[in-house]
Amino acid sequence: MLKSLLGIAPKQEEDGSFSPSWLALKLSTSKVSDFENIPYAKYEGKRAKILVVFTEQKNMTMLNGKAFSTGNHPVEALLPMLHLRNAGFEFEIATPSGKPVAFEMWAMPREDTAVMGIYEDLKSSFQNPKALPDVLVSFQAEIESYAAVFVPGGHGAMLGIPEDQNVGDMLRLAHEHELFTISLCHGPGSFLATALGGHEFLYSGYKMAVFPDSVDKQTPMIGYMPGAMPWQLEAKLRELGATVVNTKSDKTVCLDRHLITGASPLAANELGKLAATTLLEQLT
């Protein structure tokens, strides 16, 4: 009762999961984003495709057994895609099994015309994505038509994707053919898949930005999540040899070779700008 009065009680959804409290939403979401509509020179080469791998899973079971209503964070997905589309790139949308993309709809900036515009433009693809195993066949056969792979953030990126061998195969293919890999916040959980099947972790020795474990440990106190995280992403990446460059959930972005990463939802606009300018510089 006291948590409800203070606005820090997570909201229970119809399926029994919990979305962030009133206070957490007020502190961490906005009705509009900080998207900058930059007039990029349009890419006109043959490597115009970007494979975007979303999560299809919605609920994360916390240590206390309660389910957190999550998915991909819409700002973390759509702001980088806005920049990349404005730079002339196109998207191939996939989920691990072809089920619809799961979004954290409670974080959707519904008064942002640019974000809502690209969401509506791609809504059919979000509802009917390709299955990653099928995409991998064409991805390998037509690798020269791709510029990058992008794994958006949101806690849902930690569900299933880090344990998916197809994700590991995709990232290794991208690495071998010097495609760019773009991710932010909890999306780098996908990088763990490169170590599956006895493979070496692909990004040992790389610098990257990722959502800090220290912040994940604090957010249950304001009801962002209904309990403590089941595991810590930053710690796992560090254990495998990655160098995390940020300590806060801020606007930090990082470019290391063909890896482009960002720290949090606050970095989505900066990540989009960095990705768009880097791809244009390197591919034209």
Residue entry with tokens 């949101």: 154
Of 185, 225, 244, 267, which residue is the catalytic one? 185
Strand pairing class (253-256; 259-262)? antiparallel
**How many domains are contained in the chain?**
1
The C-alpha atoms of residue 18 and residue 47 are separated, in whole angstroms, by 41
The model's confidence at residue 4, banded by pLDDT at 50, 70 and 90, is: low
**In this structure, is residue 200 part of a structural domain?**
yes
Q: Which residues of 27-50 are buried (b: 16+ CB within 10 A; e: fewer)?
A: ebbeeebebeeeebeebeeebbbb
Element containing residue 28 per DSSP (H, E): helix 22-28
**In this structure, is residue 245 part of a structural domain?**
yes
Residues 6+ positions from 218 with CB-CB distance below 8 Å: none
The overall average pLDDT reported for the chain is 96
**In this structure, is residue 41 part of a structural domain?**
yes
DSSP string across 102-131 = PB-GGG--TT-HHHHHHHHHTHHHHHSPEE
**In this structure, is residue 7 part of a structural domain?**
no
Q: Of the candidates 69, 73, 74, 70, which has an alpha carbon nearest to the alpha carbon of residue 14?
A: 69
Cut 0.85: pTM above it: yes
Beta partners for residue 95, in sequence order? 131
Segment 43-61 shows an average pLDDT of 97
Residue entry with tokens 């999306």: 187
**In this structure, is residue 190 part of a structural domain?**
yes
pLDDT per residue as tens digits for the range 67-113: 999 999 999 999 999 999 999 999 999 999 999 999 999 999 999 99
CA count, 13 A, side-chain hemisphere, 137: 4
Confidence check: pLDDT of 17 > 70: yes
**In this structure, is residue 65 part of a structural domain?**
yes
DSSP 8-state code for residue 72:
B
**In this structure, is residue 2 part of a structural domain?**
no
The model's confidence at residue 6, banded by pLDDT at 50, 70 and 90, is: low
pLDDT at site 274: 98
CATH number of the domain bearing residue 33: 3.40.50.880
Element containing residue 67 per DSSP (H, E): strand 67-69
pLDDT at site 8: 83
Q: Is 185 a catalytic residue?
A: yes
Q: Residue 242 belongs to what domain range?
A: 16-283
**In this structure, is residue 3 part of a structural domain?**
no
Confidence check: pLDDT of 207 > 90: yes
The C-alpha atoms of residue 97 and residue 86 are separated, in whole angstroms, by 29
Element containing residue 260 per DSSP (H, E): strand 259-262
The C-alpha atoms of residue 1 and residue 9 are separated, in whole angstroms, by 8
